[in-house]
């Protein structure tokens, strides 16, 4: 049996990148998967390929974040597992971030997970059923580079929320964990490198060569780890925010 056999899994921000990898891994492991995204033209091929159900949603709207859970419950009768994988990584420093950019980061990277978790935990507690939640975070939660100030602030907030919610609902047997992913090879990262850093077609090779393990983070490896955290094989672990990277926070020469 797969790790998520007979589990209903909602992946918010699941149409591309790490989220899409998690959709594929959750389906492979037997989960009944619903995923959200903003662009149907990107999401529908994934839905057709995996059999997962796509729900169009703009998670910047907290009502749509909550509604994503309602749609999953309407489809499958419940939600057992939630993954918050949507993320905004547009650049901004402390000095040049506008209020609009700051609000956009908070809306996607912090507020959307908050209200999706609220709805999912409400469903779980109403049924008196256990559940699992995994929030996709970033090592920027530890501080981050100067050009990711609002992103780092939002991810640090989500790390705190992860621990707070895990503590609040541990006696409900709802396990909530986070994964601080590092530099990862995704379609979105390719677009970001080209748009903000003038990267050429060889940026992946150059970036990989500068990493200790000789490669960037890989979507399928992250997805497998998230599925493990969602599953009963991860045992009693809750409230953990786990660094998933090859650079050691606090280590220096």
| Catalytic residue list | 151
d(CA 246, CA 115): 31
**Residue 74 token pair:** 């309407």
Residue 58 to residues 37, 97, 157, 214, 235, Cα–Cα distance (Å): 7, 22, 21, 36, 33
Look at phi and psi of residue 140 and say left if phi exceeds 0, alpha if psi is from -120 to 50, else beta. alpha
d(CA 56, CA 249): 37
Strands (E), the chain: 8-12, 32-37, 53-56, 81-84, 131-138, 174-181, 241-244
CA neighbor of 81 nearest in space, from 242, 245, 234: 234
Degrees to nearest 5, angle at CA 22 with 55 and 244: 135
Coil, strand or helix at 150 = helix
Integer-rounded Cα Rg, in Å, for the chain is 17
């Amino acid at each position: 049996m797969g790790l998520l056999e007979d589990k209903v899994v909602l992946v918010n921000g699941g149409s591309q990148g790490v989220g899409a990898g998690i959709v594929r891994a959750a389906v492979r492991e037997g989960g009944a998967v619903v995923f959200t995204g903003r662009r149907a033209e990107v999401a529908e091929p994934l839905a057709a390929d995996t059999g997962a159900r796509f729900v169009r949603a703009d998670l910047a709207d907290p009502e749509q974040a909550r509604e994503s859970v309602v749609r999953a419950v309407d489809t499958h009768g419940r939600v057992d597992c939630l993954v918050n994988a949507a993320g905004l990584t547009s650049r901004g420093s402390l000095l040049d971030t506008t209020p609009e950019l700051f609000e956009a980061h908070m809306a996607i990277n912090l507020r959307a997970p908050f209200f999706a978790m609220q709805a999912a935990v409400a469903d779980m507690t109403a049924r008196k059923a256990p559940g699992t939640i995994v929030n996709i975070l970033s090592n920027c939660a530890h501080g981050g580079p100067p050009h990711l100030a609002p992103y780092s602030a939002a991810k640090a907030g989500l790390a705190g929320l992860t621990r707070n919610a895990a503590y609040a609902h541990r006696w409900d047997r709802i396990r909530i964990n986070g994964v601080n992913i590092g530099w990862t090879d995704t379609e979105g990262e390719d677009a970001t490198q080209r748009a903000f850093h003038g990267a050429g077609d060889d940026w992946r090779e150059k970036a990989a060569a500068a990493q200790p393990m000789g490669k960037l983070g890989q979507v399928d490896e992250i997805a497998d780890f998230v599925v493990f955290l969602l599953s009963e094989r991860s045992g009693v672990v809750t409230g953990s925010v786990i660094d998933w990277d090859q650079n050691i926070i606090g280590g220096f020469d």
